[in-house]
Amino acid sequence: MIDAFLGGLGLVFTWPTPLYLALGVLFGLWLGAVPGLGGITGVVIILPFTFGMDTVPALALILGVFAVTATSDTIASVMLGIPGTAASQATVMDGYPMAQKGQAARAFGAAFTASAIGGVLGGLAMAASLPLIRPLILSFGTPEFFLLGALGLTMVATVSGGAVSKGLAAAAAGLLLSQVGFPVASEEPRYWFEIMYLIDGFPLIPVVLGLFALPEMLDLAVRNASISRVERDETESLTAGIRDALRNWWLVIRCSWIGIYIGMLPGLGGMIADWVAYGHVAQSKRAPGEPEYGTGNVRGVIAPESANNAVLGGALIPTVGLGIPGSASMAILLGAFTILGLAPGRAMLSTQLEITFSLVWMLIVANIFGAGLLMLVSRQMARLSFVSGHLIVPGVILFVFMGAWLDTPSIASWITVLGFGALGYLMKRGGWPRPALVLGFVLGPVMESSLVLSWQSFGPADLLARPLSIALAVLLIVALVFAIRSTLRARDVSSLRAASRAMGGHPASIFLGLALSATFLAAIAPALDWPPSARRFPLVIAPLGALFAAIALVTDLRARAGRPTRANPGSDPETVKSAGFLLAVAAMIAVAWAFGQPVALVGFVALYLGLAARYRIGWTLLYATGAALALYVVYERVLHVRWLEPALSFWD
């Protein structure tokens, strides 16, 4: 075993493998940094190049891409409040507030250090667990997946700030949204309104980009200010962040372990791991003077970043050891293994063991190299948080909409981004926690499928004979009690709660309370006609959601009644500007439909800078030319994007 371990190291440092690993890392860093892209996109592009290559260099190229996307996805999460990939959603919670406080460099230092350590620990865990692989993975069955999902839902209170009833209603809305499309064990799609785009449900990337990106860009555009709301403070440096991560070494190890374990379980992956890690840290005791979670606590960045980089090491364990890919990205990797002549499973644990260990070393080297590279440029990246928001908005809009398009190439994806953007804006204004909605949306399919499968395969007596089920059920009860207790304790002292109260009674919040109550109630009737496995979940979610939304609505109405009447009840300028921004985005989508995406995106960039931000014509043209070049080089030439066929054409 030791010989194979060292042999694997030798393979990684045999020329030209280091070159390909470096190329993969560079490509992976770029993919992670652009919102909406990610490792899967990269590997789909790279895969054809690996055919005919020697096995180890090909693996180095592929794994280099996968290993570091979860490191560089921090950039968008911290700087823009937009998850760079699905695995960095929780990083937004404290990363973006840190950037707003002028602490982006410190957040980067902490995140990259935690990512590197998490990635290295993931690799080592993979090496250590290979002999124990079968019992380790097979002990976790379908009922345990359901309980783990339920455990994840207890984090709603944690990510809800002070607005628990709104958080619960938002989580129920996320769960209900996850019910759109084909159910697990039935052939009739649900809530799809005969729209083909919805037959498989809402795709995650456009939903998340809409919920987070559009409201933040709207905020920057309307405020006409930089991301950071304070002056530059050089003491909040990269090295301070590195020290934060090292000082919290025990947290890094715990969260890396969470990432490894969740990565190992098929069907979960990075997007669950980073929420679980965030929930773990947010439920832990804060030191005196430490900021609240959700307001820029560096530990809220360290936890998810340790976990999401460790996921890959964990995910490789069943893929390599049992030939079971736990996620879409692992399925692609499994396909690549097969084409490269490897036999995941017993052969990779015996005759191909040296190659298996080379994967471990690749993970370790790639994570350290990737984090190091990012640290070199993080000071410059952090400076972007002090740049005028007007310079950031059009570029980010371009990448956000192209990211959504790349994920699901349909004009409906753009409409989804806009729709969820409007919803995210209302939630932000009304003090409704957006992460709670995403949490429900992500956990819904995991919980429903494991519930339906367990229902068919297990009886109550079987469940009582499963020690891990019992342990998780106990943990679930403890987590629930803890969540309720900490919510009640925080009731009167939390600044988040105070902020939430200040937003209580906001028209946006009242509108959401009304709209969600009505939606939940309307969702009940069609579900009554569905087969039991298809209706069980929605019929639990919808009434509960209606109840939570109604409580939030009543609370808002009471808050509004107790508030003095405004002297000037006319519409406020911020609302008008925000509506104007959303209309401009809607117009961009209409232009894309009519004349194609390049015209729409470049036109949006030029008009935004020229008319809204009032930049000089030279600067506007320069920026618009850059946008056009990015579309051509990145999306046309590198990503081979297939563009929307314009409904109208200048040359027909």
Partner 1 sequence: MPRTTVLAGLAALALGIAPAQAEDRYEGETIRIVINLGAGGSTGVMAQLFANHWAEHIPGNPDFIVQPVTGGAQMAGIIEARNARPDGLTLAWVSWSGPTRAIGPASQNVDWSEFEVIAGMGVPTMTYMRNDVGGATVTGPADLPGLSGLQLGGYRPGSYLDLIGRMSLDLLGVEYGYTTGFGDGSSIVAALQRDEVNFHVTPAGNYFGGIEDNVVNAGIGLPLWYYELAGPDGQPVGLEGFGDLPSFRSVVEELTGAPPSGPLYDAIEWLNQGMAGTTWLIAVPRGVDPETLALLRESFAATVEDPAFREAATATAGSVPVFTGPAQMETMIEGLRAVDPAIAETVTSYIASGTQ
Footprint (CB under 8 A) of partner 1, residues 626-645: 632-633, 636-638, 640, 642, 645
531 binds partner 1 (CB under 8 A): yes
Span 144-203, contacts to partner 1 by CB under 8 A = 182-189, 194, 196-197, 199-200, 203
Tokens representing residue 617 in the block: 């014509």
336 binds partner 1 (CB under 8 A): yes
Residue 206 near residue 410, CB atoms below 8 Å: no
CA distances from 319 to 123, 258, 346 (A): 14, 18, 11
155 vs 208, which CB is nearer to partner 1?
A: 208
Residues 192-221: x/- map of binding to partner 1 (CB under 8 A)? --x-xx-xx--x------------------
9 vs 184, which CB is nearer to partner 1?
A: 184
In 3D space, the residue among 317, 203, 208, 322 whose CA is nearest the CA of residue 259 turns out to be 317
Span 558-617, contacts to partner 1 by CB under 8 A = none
b/e map of 637-647 (b: 16 or more CB within 10 Å)? eebebeebebe
Q: Which stretch binds partner 1 (CB under 8 A): 122-130, 132-140, 214-222, 491-499?
A: 132-140
Span 83-102, contacts to partner 1 by CB under 8 A = none
113 vs 449, which CB is nearer to partner 1?
A: 449
45 vs 579, which CB is nearer to partner 1?
A: 45
Span 285-324, contacts to partner 1 by CB under 8 A = 318, 322-324
Q: Which stretch binds partner 1 (CB under 8 A): 158-166, 480-488, 528-536, 574-582?
A: 528-536
Rounded Cα gap, residues 509 and 304, in angstroms? 29
Report residue 113: phi and psi, to 5°: -65, -45
Q: Which stretch binds partner 1 (CB under 8 A): 65-73, 255-263, 407-415, 470-478?
A: 407-415
Rounded Cα gap, residues 201 and 211, in angstroms? 16
Span 22-81, contacts to partner 1 by CB under 8 A = 23, 40, 43-45, 47-53, 57
In 3D space, the residue among 365, 374, 367 whose CA is nearest the CA of residue 17 turns out to be 365
334 binds partner 1 (CB under 8 A): yes
Task: Give first-to-last CA distance, the chain, whole Å.
Answer: 67
Cα angle 224-98-236, degrees, rounded to a multiple of 5: 110
Tokens representing residue 93 in the block: 């919670």
DSSP classification of residue 324: -
Rounded Cα gap, residues 606 and 252, in angstroms? 44
Considering the complex, what minimum distance in angstroms separates the CB of residue 531 from partner 1? 5
Residue 417 near residue 601, CB atoms below 8 Å: no
87 vs 364, which CB is nearer to partner 1?
A: 87
Considering the complex, what minimum distance in angstroms separates the CB of residue 88 from partner 1? 22
Residues 533-562: x/- map of binding to partner 1 (CB under 8 A)? xx----------------------------
107 vs 359, which CB is nearer to partner 1?
A: 359
Q: Which stretch binds partner 1 (CB under 8 A): 114-122, 226-234, 404-412, 585-593?
A: 404-412
Chosen residue from 229, 286, 346, 383 binding partner 1 by CB under 8 A: 346
6 vs 629, which CB is nearer to partner 1?
A: 629
266 binds partner 1 (CB under 8 A): yes
Residue 59 near residue 362, CB atoms below 8 Å: yes
CA distances from 104 to 79, 112, 194 (A): 7, 12, 45
Residue 194 Ramachandran class (φ > 0 left, ψ -120 to 50 alpha, else beta): left
Span 456-515, contacts to partner 1 by CB under 8 A = 456-458
